[in-house]
Chain A
Amino acid sequence: TQLLEQSPQFLSIQEGENLTVYCNSSSVFSSLQWYRQEPGEGPVLLVTVVTGGEVKKLKRLTFQFGDARKDSSLHITAAQPGDTGLYLCAGETSGTYKYIFGTGTRLKVLA
């Protein structure tokens, strides 16, 4: 069974701090997505990465896909309370037509 492990599982930081969330697997993915989910809502896509080594930036968020396409990271610079939420990575193995979701990272940014 494919498994996407995210770390840390929980993270509570002060506003203005930087943080990195990791998503690791032993499987190779043809593409990997990052979602953010707020309480009472469904996940919302932040980014999709498809090329090994690819780096994408979304304002203060930087996403990187590992060279071997087995892992990914999400770095947030100068975190704000609005960044609070559950961050989920999801990987798709070529030909399976399904995204396997990671174990999730719950982030809380304190004002």
Chain B
Amino acid sequence: DTAVSQTPKYLVTQMGNDKSIKCEQNLGHDTMYWYKQDSKKFLKIMFSYNNKELIINETVPNRFSPKSPDKAHLNLHINSLELGDSAVYFCASSQDLVTEAFFGQGTRLTVV
């Protein structure tokens, strides 16, 4: 039973397209996150939601729009994809804003 699952695992798309990545957690956690890991393995927070409320928006371009329909889901929609968006995107969840984060397996996005 996967704790934090995100789909798809791989996504290859052309520049200019719009795509979504879905994330679900079955841990009963209140907080969910999106992180971006670049080719140098640097992991940077993009967004965090607590009880469906946006807490952190880390100066991410407004082409990226997170949506949390309920506490167990945090989806990431990306408009007008650019080459520089290519990275691995990780969803994570935690009991609250400061406790251990459980990460999904990542979505490798390649923009061509």
Give the distance to chain A from B49, nearest Cβ to Cβ, in Å.
11
Give the distance to chain B from A76, nearest Cβ to Cβ, in Å.
19
The interface residues of chain A, by DSSP majority, are classed as strand
Q: Taking A42-B92, A45-B100 as contacts, is the C-beta distance between A97 and B48 under 8 angstroms?
A: yes
A33 at the interface (CB under 8 A from B): yes
How many chain B residues sit at the interface, stated as a range, is 20 to 34
Q: Report yes or no: B41 in contact with A97, Cβ–Cβ below 8 A.
A: no
- The residue in chain A whose Cβ has the minimal distance to the Cβ of B103 is A42
Give the distance to chain B from A44, nearest Cβ to Cβ, in Å.
7
Within 8 A of B (CB), among A82-105: 86, 88, 92, 97-101, 103-104
Give the distance to chain B from A92, nearest Cβ to Cβ, in Å.
6
B44 at the interface (CB under 8 A from A): yes
Q: Give residues in B with beta carbon < 8 Å to A.
A: 4, 35, 40-45, 48, 55-56, 58, 90, 92, 97-98, 100-106
Q: Give residues in A with beta carbon < 8 Å to B.
A: 31, 33, 37, 40-45, 48, 86, 88, 92, 97-101, 103-104, 106
Q: List 13 A-B contacts (CB under 8 A).
A: A41-B105, A41-B106, A42-B90, A42-B106, A44-B103, A45-B101, A88-B43, A97-B97, A98-B56, A98-B58, A101-B35, A104-B41, A104-B42
The 5 closest A-B pairs by CB, nearest first: A42-B103, A97-B97, A101-B43, A45-B100, A104-B41
